[in-house]
């Protein structure tokens, strides 16, 4: 069997780069046993990102037989490429119960696992350069109060103290001391190993090509290595979920946008809290450098799916217009020639792209680095040593789909996390595990139902 290590291209190392503990190109769960795929199970999970792996972890913990199939490597796509922020702050209020649950689960995971997942609970701050930003932060505070969160506004002097600065250049900050981070390059792969130790059967380089049904219900999956019979399937395929669902005859409005990130070499300590400004955000890494990027700075390819769902995404496009880089490029042709109808006995698009590994936007990242130095002068002279990018899957209302699919009993979907699914991931997995065994979910999933798109109940709330 091909070593999973061979499947990913290295993250782009820049001149003078030293090795990180877990370089981007080593996104693999490593010591997984790679047993033969079982022919039957209770539940099959499609996708080895944070949502799928967490589902397998909680099912295995409950003693439920579960098989997880990942087309490439565990956490090869979004789940190892993100910033690692686990935040309640600034969330769409509909997600707050789930992210509150997720933070509790992350903390438990950090203690349950024997491996270092880079867990730190040092808070997250959004700093305001303008009065308008500060007013926007203030408008979010009632949600914090409703859920008894420790979120508060910092004065300019308190913001300076947090950032070890002295010029009161910020109008203030929104700060949640109990928000946290984990290291995406370690956490999900470590969770997959823990799930396997609990009895989950986890398989890399194992694309699921289609579903098998009996009497209109899910009866199993067809993988590139053969069928697996099961009672329930959890589709947690990230940016690929819409294609898989389309193949089954269901339309999920989901688009992909590219977001780029860089890490620096060793740098002076500004604060252990993660800090976001509108022009640049940073999080201190355990290797003494920073992960630096900009929220919302994304490249949006105009594709056939984008044209199909243009109306649904129009409000989001309007709000983010200034930040978007629009492109008509190779992806238009790629998608146009990627039909959602295929035969399950032949290789599918999932095997043709084992790991989505887009090229980072170097020009954009150069600007982010300049802005970061301007905002946080302690970064002067600090250089980026590695850059990478990921394809974020977005829904029109920027909240995920969590739950069943009308017309396909036994199929559950956990996808569309819209750029903030790393944090909420363990809760998504826990809730999917509950649904898969017929339990009432710990959180009301009505706002996340798949049917909302067909019902036209798609409300996008303004960003914080």
- With CB under 6 A as the contact rule, the residue among 205, 420, 449, 460 that binds ligand FAD is 420
Minimum gap (Å) between residue 169 Cβ and ligand FAD: 24
358 near ligand FAD, rule: CB under 6 A: no
Q: Which is nearer to ligand FAD, 87 or 171 (CB)?
A: 87
Q: Which is nearer to ligand FAD, 171 or 179 (CB)?
A: 179
- With CB under 6 A as the contact rule, the residue among 7, 29, 37, 50 that binds ligand FAD is 50
254 near ligand FAD, rule: CB under 6 A: no
Residues 6+ apart with CB under 8 A from 241: 47, 235, 252, 254, 393, 401, 413, 415, 416
- With CB under 6 A as the contact rule, the residue among 11, 48, 172, 426 that binds ligand FAD is 48
Q: Which is nearer to ligand FAD, 47 or 123 (CB)?
A: 47
Per DSSP bridges, beta strands 180-181 and 85-86 are antiparallel
81 near ligand FAD, rule: CB under 6 A: yes
3-state secondary structure of 435: helix
Q: Which is nearer to ligand FAD, 47 or 403 (CB)?
A: 47
Residues 6+ apart with CB under 8 A from 248: 210, 211, 408, 411
Query: Which residue number is nearest to ligand FAD in terms of Cβ?
Result: 49
3-state secondary structure of 306: helix
Query: Which residues share a beta bridge with 300?
Result: 257, 326
Residues 6+ apart with CB under 8 A from 358: 258, 389, 390, 391
Per DSSP bridges, beta strands 43-46 and 201-203 are unpaired
Q: Which is nearer to ligand FAD, 231 or 354 (CB)?
A: 354
Residue 58 burial (CB < 10 Å; 0-12/13-18/19+)? buried
Maximum distance among all alpha carbons in the chain? 69
List the x/- string, 314-333, binding to ligand FAD by CB under 6 A: --------------------
Residue keyed to tokens 């826990």: 430
DSSP run (H or E) holding 212: strand 208-214
Minimum gap (Å) between residue 71 Cβ and ligand FAD: 4
Q: Are the beta carbons of 259 and 389 closer than 8 angstroms?
A: yes
User: Which among 183, 203, 200 is positioned nearest to 48, based on CA atoms?
Assistant: 203
Minimum gap (Å) between residue 167 Cβ and ligand FAD: 28
DSSP state of 94: G
Q: Are the beta carbons of 385 and 253 closer than 8 angstroms?
A: no
- With CB under 6 A as the contact rule, the residue among 11, 90, 423, 441 that binds ligand FAD is 423
245 near ligand FAD, rule: CB under 6 A: no
- With CB under 6 A as the contact rule, the residue among 106, 175, 240, 313 that binds ligand FAD is 240
Task: Report d(CA 237, CA 51) in Å as an integer.
Answer: 9
User: Which among 221, 243, 224 is positioned nearest to 411, based on CA atoms?
Assistant: 221
The stretches of 270-361 forming alpha helices (DSSP H) are 304-308, 310-320, 330-336, 349-352
- With CB under 6 A as the contact rule, the residue among 230, 237, 382, 431 that binds ligand FAD is 237
Task: Report d(CA 168, CA 276) in Å as an integer.
Answer: 16
Q: Which stretch binds ligand FAD (CB under 6 A): 68-76, 116-124, 168-176, 245-253?
A: 68-76
105 near ligand FAD, rule: CB under 6 A: no
419 near ligand FAD, rule: CB under 6 A: yes
82 near ligand FAD, rule: CB under 6 A: yes
- With CB under 6 A as the contact rule, the residue among 57, 58, 83, 126 that binds ligand FAD is 83
415 near ligand FAD, rule: CB under 6 A: yes
76 near ligand FAD, rule: CB under 6 A: yes
- With CB under 6 A as the contact rule, the residue among 57, 85, 106, 450 that binds ligand FAD is 85
Minimum gap (Å) between residue 196 Cβ and ligand FAD: 16
Contacts with ligand FAD, residue ranges (CB under 6 A): 46-52, 69-72, 76-79, 81-85, 207-208, 236-240, 244, 259, 261, 350, 390, 392, 415, 417, 419-423, 425
């Amino acid at each position: 069997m091909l070593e999973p290590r061979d499947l990913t291209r290295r993250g782009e190392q820049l001149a003078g780069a030293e090795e990180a503990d877990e370089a981007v190109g080593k996104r693999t769960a490593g010591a997984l046993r790679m047993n033969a795929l079982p022919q039957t199970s209770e539940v099959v999970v499609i996708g080895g990102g944070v949502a799928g792996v967490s589902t397998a972890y909680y099912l295995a913990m409950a003693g439920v037989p579960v098989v997880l199939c990942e087309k490439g490597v565990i956490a090869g796509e979004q789940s190892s490429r993100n910033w690692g922020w686990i935040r309640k702050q600034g969330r769409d209020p509909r997600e707050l119960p789930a992210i509150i649950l997720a933070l509790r689960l992350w903390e438990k995971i950090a203690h349950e696992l024997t491996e270092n997942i880079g867990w730190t609970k040092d808070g997250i701050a959004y700093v305001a350069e303008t009065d308008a930003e500060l007013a926007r932060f203030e408008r979010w505070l009632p949600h914090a109060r409703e859920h008894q969160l420790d979120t508060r506004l910092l004065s300019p002097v308190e913001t300076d103290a947090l950032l070890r600065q002295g010029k009161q250049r910020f109008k203030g900050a929104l700060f949640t001391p109990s928000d946290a981070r984990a290291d995406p390059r370690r956490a999900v792969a470590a969770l997959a190993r823990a799930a396997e130790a609990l009895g989950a059967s986890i398989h890399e380089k194992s694309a699921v090509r289609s579903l098998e049904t009996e009497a209109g219900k899910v009866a199993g999956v067809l993988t590139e290595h053969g069928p697996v019979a099961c009672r329930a399937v959890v589709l947690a395929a990230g940016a690929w979920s819409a294609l898989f669902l389309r193949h089954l005859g269901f339309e999920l409005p989901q688009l992909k946008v590219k977001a780029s990130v860089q890490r620096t070499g060793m740098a002076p300590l500004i604060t252990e809290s993660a800090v976001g400004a509108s022009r640049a955000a940073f999080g201190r890494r355990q290797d003494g450098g920073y992960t630096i990027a900009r929220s919302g700075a994304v490249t949006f390819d105009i594709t056939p799916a984008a044209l199909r769902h243009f109306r649904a995404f129009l409000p989001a496009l309007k709000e983010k217009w200034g930040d978007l880089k629009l492109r008509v490029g190779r992806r238009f042709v790629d998608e146009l020639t990627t039909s959602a109808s295929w035969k399950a006995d032949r290789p599918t698009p999932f095997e043709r792209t084992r790991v989505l590994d887009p090229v980072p936007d170097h020009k954009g990242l150069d600007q982010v680095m300049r802005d970061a130095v301007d905002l946080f002068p302690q970064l002067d002279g600090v250089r980026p040593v590695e850059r990478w990018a990921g394809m974020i899957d977005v829904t029109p209302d920027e909240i995920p789909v969590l739950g069943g699919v009308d017309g396909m009993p036994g199929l559950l979907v956990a996808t569309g996390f819209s750029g903030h699914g790393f944090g909420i991931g363990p809760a998504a997995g826990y809730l999917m595990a509950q649904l898969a065994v017929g339990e009432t979910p710990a959180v009301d999933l009505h706002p996340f139902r798949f049917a909302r798109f067909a019902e036209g109940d798609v409300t996008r709330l303004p960003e914080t």
